[in-house]
Amino acid sequence: MEQVKEAPFRLTQKDPIISASEADGTAAIWSDIWSYQVPNGSALIVKPHHTTAFYLEDASAEVGSSTCQIKIEKRDASKSDVRLIYGQALYVESKEFQEAVKMAHFVVPPEGIVINEREYLVISVKDDGAIDASDSYFELRISRLSRSLAA
């Protein structure tokens, strides 16, 4: 009999699947900066107590906190069905990496939102300048669901 296990999962820009899908942003429009496709055999779940944090740079320095906005979306495998799971929030609200109580939290139903295998978790940014993805970084502290055979 199969069992579903939930385990803490830390997703960052260093994940090999993320790095292949990293792209610089375009000024003044929503741009997909990082995209993560959930591998076969697993799923992610985002719950209200989970947290996220970002550091974003444009061509020369950290972006202006008062103008930059961030959102995180769940997209189906064809990227045509979209569900917002974080944001549209100001960058200044999600810059804290150290103190969990100050980190940005997801506003999702108590049971959470599941991102199934082959679906995408996409981080988009809108700023008055172009985002430099190679000098920017993020962290999502969420959970991974995996199936295992019961003994």
Q: Is the pLDDT of residue 111 over 90?
A: yes
Correct CATH for 2-149 of 3.40.50.300, 2.60.120.1170, 3.30.1330.60, 2.40.40.20: 2.60.120.1170
Mean pLDDT value across residues 88-109 = 90
- The lowest-confidence range among 57-61, 76-80, 93-97 is 57-61
CB atoms within 10 A of CB 49: 14
Residue 106 structure tokens: 């997801």
What whole-number distance in Å separates Cα of residue 151 and Cα of residue 143?
A: 23
| Single pTM value for the model | 0.90
